[in-house]
Structure 1
């Protein structure tokens, strides 16, 4: 049995489907079971990661867990509860900022969280993705209204990744041996500027769109690159590690191209 936390999110929803499609016994954890839509045969249980004690019923009979940490979640207590329940394997999501900016406040926080997982006594795999394609849905209202995305800066080339590819790597780590003790940096197959991203969305919609820089939109300290990196989704303000081949190396399937994602999600921008 595999327990998937964050089962209704961008990664978790895809992961549940992949695991179920592979014939695994899957249990989806959500705060509201009544609103969860899962494949046939997948069990749905309620639980709150901020209340580790509430997870005990969900952990019964589970052998591996996909842990999507959020906010101030007490990861150490969750993993202690998981170990007491007999769980042997954990796969968790961190961020590539732990690698690229380890001395920043964000990087230090991520590294502390990763170390808790490494010290848990469970067989662990850590996934470090760069920014998600799905962040671009933040642009949808502007694209629908006047076809112009305005941002405070031009942005840097960024190898954003499809959350489904993160789920694919997670599925491999949960279903296969040989991934224990591995930390996987994950990116999409190419680095793209915001202008190139909007060009791909434009092609998918079949109508002209444009990207405009408007410095007056900046709200964060201009010296804080990491704050700038997350303040306007889809517009990366920090240097990336470049496109990496990890998704294909682990799964045998190349990472999804952004143009393909744009075609599949075109209705979200119409």
Structure 2
């Protein structure tokens, strides 16, 4: 049995599909069972509950041999500790590439801390460190629907955003195949993009003109200066220096990672 936390999220739903297609037995954890409608099958069990609830957490691990979990799902440390107590044999932990590029920041420290818990509990497995996600630009959806002009404090810095579907595909390989235990994979998308590049891609798939404008909000710019790692996702703009385009996703997947344009085409309905 493979326990998948965050099973109805941008990454988890893709992972559950990969595991189901491979014939693996999956326990899919979600806070809201309604979001898992259509996911349950002969091989997929839905476990609705809160991972911060100790009793639910312990029940979730009954019969589990492998775990997929993310830094931002519930209390990641508690999930890893429960995995250790349950004798889980293989773990895939998703943290952040900020563990390498900004280790002194809040997210970088949190990532390194969770990775240390995994090691300290003797859990064998794989760490995935993705960069910014393509899904971060869903933060623009309201403005795009309202009028088509996205206004943010700054256009930020070029960013090789990665599609969560690619991270899920790599996670599936790490859970199902040999050769990944003990590895740490730094993951990016195939190209460095700025917001204007993403706006052009969204304009193309939506069939209407969109614009990105900097509003120069001094208060927000100061917030960005102080904690760039904590505000990037909320603005849908990356404010941190790029790690560059890394080859890891290509090497593990055996194909190029998906482009932002491909992600935009698949998710156009979320901006309409």
Q: Which bracket does the TM-score occupy, shorter chain normalised?
A: over 0.9
In the alignment, the residues of structure 2 paired with residue 168 and residue 196 of structure 1 have an alpha-carbon distance, to the nearest angstrom, of 25
1:20 counterpart residue number: 20
Distance 1:39 1:187, change over 3 A: farther
Distance 1:72 1:23 in 2: 27
Name the residue aligned to 1:3: 3
User: How far apart are the structure 1 equivalents of 2:84 and 2:110?
Assistant: 23
Query: Does the alignment pair 1:90 with 2:91?
Result: yes
Partners of 1:217 and 1:39 lie apart in 2 by: 48
Match of 1:162 in 2: 163
**1:206-239 Cα deviation digits (max 9, x unpaired):** 2111111111274243531525752643211111
Aligned pair in 2 of structure 1 residues 141, 35: CA closer, same or farther (>3 Å)? closer
User: Where in structure 1 do 4 or more consecutive aligned residues deviate above 4 Å?
Assistant: none
How many angstroms apart in 2 are the aligned matches of 1:136 and 1:146? Answer: 16
Find the aligned partners of 2:181 and 2:261 in 1 and give their Cα distance. Answer: 33
Structure 2 residue matching 1:66: 3-state secondary structure: strand
2:66 to 56, 64, 67: 64
Aligned counterpart in structure 2 of residue 263 of structure 1, from 248, 262, 265 = 265
What are structure 2's unaligned runs of at least 5 residues?
Answer: none
Given that 2:229 and 2:240 are in contact with CA atoms closer than 8 Å, whether structure 1 keeps it comes out as: no
Paired position in structure 1 for 2:197: 196
**How many equivalent residue pairs?**
269
CA RMSD, Structure 1 to Structure 2 (Å): 1.9
Q: Give the superposition deviation at 1:58.
A: 2.1
Q: CA deviation at 1:74?
A: 5.5
Superposition pairs of residues 115-130 of structure 1, within 5 angstroms: 115-130=116-131
Indicate the SS of the match to 2:81.
helix
Question: What TM-score comes out, normalization by structure 2 length?
Answer: 0.92
1:223 match: secondary structure: helix
Matched ranges for 1:15-54 at <5 A: 15-37=15-37, 38-41=39-42, 42-54=44-56
SS of 1:121 mapped into structure 2:
coil
How many angstroms apart in 2 are the aligned matches of 1:79 and 1:232?
27
Partner Cα separation in structure 2 for residue 92 and residue 31 of structure 1 = 19
Deviates more, 1:46-55 or 1:204-213: 46-55
